[in-house]
Amino acid sequence: MSYIAEYLWIDGTKPSAKIRSKAKVISDSEKPGIWGFDGSSTNQAAGESSDVVLSPVMVTPDPIRGGDNKLVLCETLLTDMETPHPTNTRAKCAVVAEKYSSFETWFGLEQEYTFFEGTQPLGWPDIGFPAPQGGYYCGVGADEIFGREVVNKHLQACIDAGLSIAGINAEVMAGQWEFQIGPVEAPKVGDEIWLARWLLQRIGEDIKGPKGMPISVSFDAKPIKGDWNGAGCHTNFSTKQMRSSFEACENAAKSLGEPGKPELHIANYGVGVEDRLTGAHETAKYSEFSYGISNRGASIRIPWQVAKDGKGYIEDRRPNANCDPYLVTQMIIDTVCTSASK
Ligand code: ADP
Ligand code: MN
Ligand code: MN
Ligand code: MN
């Protein structure tokens, strides 16, 4: 007998990479091995040769096909089989995480996203707007909740795939939701975020909205302009030291505000971050760094429970929904651990 391995990889699309996949039939006596694809069709052709190597980094049960079938998340390499492809940000993240492995860093990412049916957010009227924000966050009822079937199927699929999914909730804008992955170390948390993003989009293909069209997923940071919340990817972070000391948590927050760091982080937190971090809608303005206990209007929030317990983690509220989780986690490790090593 054979099984189907769905190979997944991150492409080179700019300004925000996409996840791609294709399937391979493998004899059940074999493990998923190295494979390849045509990089000229994914914005990944480097120079003369368009062949890109797929090197598996994570294999999970396939909750969509079931049975013995697998999902195979890969990193991309050049044909020398060892040099990371220029679009492979995972490799760099792994190097930085390894350099600071003694810090035992953990990440919990809150991935927000917006469902669409055709050109409108799911549940929105064709013309005009739904009722203003206020009742949608963690709401219930067909007048306020759109897409729960996809959300629940996705949650179960993530569990079945063995991902560290921590929860889900409906968000502030109608049709917007969130799932959380973690706490997990980097780069694994990035692997899991990408797999969970793919599962969400894949499940939406098979479920129709009220207008009869299948449900698509947008990771756009500000899908609807105006008085509607954007979509972020709050990044919760701790080191071993922070998990036992409040001072270490506060120092981590301060280090993210050291000269040059706010600009550097913002520039790598996803396209359109300036449109989302306006200072309104539970955000701090992108150009003004701040941190505070329990403050959802700060760049960095120290949860009240952390202040109460005197230990824990901090939340970087700045990354966009469309961020590269390998890049975001790499930058936080680099900034916080370099500062703590001084
Ligand atoms: P919010 O109140 O901001 O909506 P969530 O409950 O959505 O918070 O997400 C908080 C996330 O923080 C969880 O997904 C969890 O994985 C993560 N987390 C909890 N403890 C730690 C820790 N010590 N280090 C890193 N992340 C953590
Ligand atoms: Mn949350
Ligand atoms: Mn949220
Ligand atoms: Mn949050």
> What's the gap in Å between 231 CA and the centre of ligand 2?
11
User: How many beta carbons lie within 10 A of that of residue 341, not counting itself?
Assistant: 9
> What's the gap in Å between 217 CA and the centre of ligand 2?
18
Residue 82's pLDDT band (cuts 50, 70, 90): very high
Phi, psi of 113 (to 5 degrees): -160, 165
By percentage, how much of the chain surpasses pLDDT 90? 97
Residues, CB-to-ion distance under 5 Å, ligand 4: 110, 234
Q: Mean pLDDT, to the nearest integer, of 234-262?
A: 98
In ligand 1, the atom with minimum distance to the C-alpha of 166 is: 14
Write down the residue that tokens 């791609």 correspond to: 20
As given in the structure block, the two tokens for residue 264 are 């550097």
What does pLDDT average to over the chain? 97
In ligand 1, the atom with minimum distance to the C-alpha of 169 is: 7
User: How many beta carbons lie within 10 A of that of residue 79, not counting itself?
Assistant: 13
Question: Of the ligands numbered here, which is closest to the C-alpha atom of 236?
Answer: 1
Query: Which residue has the CA at smallest separation from atom 8 of ligand 1?
Result: 110
- Cross-strand pairs, 26: 3
Report whether 44 contacts 87 (CB < 8 A): yes
Q: Is a pLDDT exceeding 90 seen at residue 289?
A: yes
> What's the gap in Å between 298 CA and the centre of ligand 4?
11
Q: Is a pLDDT exceeding 80 seen at residue 46?
A: no
Q: What is the pLDDT of residues 251-263, one digit of tens each?
A: 999 999 999 999 9
Would you give the DSSP letter of residue 168?
A: E
Q: Give the CA-trace dihedral at 202, 205, 210, 212, to 10 degrees.
A: 180
CA gap 4, 253 in Å, rounded: 45
Q: Is a pLDDT exceeding 70 seen at residue 342?
A: yes
Q: Is a pLDDT exceeding 90 seen at residue 155?
A: yes
Q: Which of helix, strand or coil describes residue 338?
A: helix
The mean-pLDDT minimum among 43-57, 248-262, 302-316 falls in 43-57
Query: Which residue has the CA at smallest separation from atom 18 of ligand 1?
Result: 108
Report whether 185 contacts 107 (CB < 8 A): yes
Residues, CB-to-ion distance under 5 Å, ligand 2: 110
Q: Is a pLDDT exceeding 80 seen at residue 49?
A: no
Question: Of the ligands numbered here, which is closest to the C-alpha atom of 181?
Answer: 1
Please report, as a single letter, which amino acid is at residue 225: K
Question: Of the ligands numbered here, which is closest to the C-alpha atom of 317?
Answer: 4
User: How many beta carbons lie within 10 A of that of residue 271, not counting itself?
Assistant: 14
Report the predicted TM-score, pTM, of the whole model to 2 decimal places.
0.98
> What's the gap in Å between 40 CA and the centre of ligand 4?
38
Please report, as a single letter, which amino acid is at residue 210: P
User: How many beta carbons lie within 10 A of that of residue 214, not counting itself?
Assistant: 14
Q: Mean pLDDT, to the nearest integer, of 146-173?
A: 98
Q: Mean pLDDT, to the nearest integer, of 294-312?
A: 97
Site to probe by mutation for ligand 1, drawn from 112, 180, 249, 316 as the one with most ligand atoms within 8 Å of Cβ, is 180
Q: Give the binding-site residues of ligand 1, using a 6 Å CB cut-off.
A: 106-108, 110, 166, 180, 182-183, 234, 236-238, 243, 312-313, 315
Q: Which of helix, strand or coil describes residue 71?
A: strand
The verdict on whether omega for the bond into residue 84 sits within 30 degrees of 0, i.e. cis, is no
As given in the structure block, the two tokens for residue 111 are 């991935």
Q: Mean pLDDT, to the nearest integer, of 214-239?
A: 97
> What's the gap in Å between 234 CA and the centre of ligand 4?
5
Task: Please count the residues of the chain.
Answer: 342
Query: Which residue has the CA at smallest separation from atom 7 of ligand 1?
Result: 110
Q: Is a pLDDT exceeding 70 seen at residue 47?
A: no
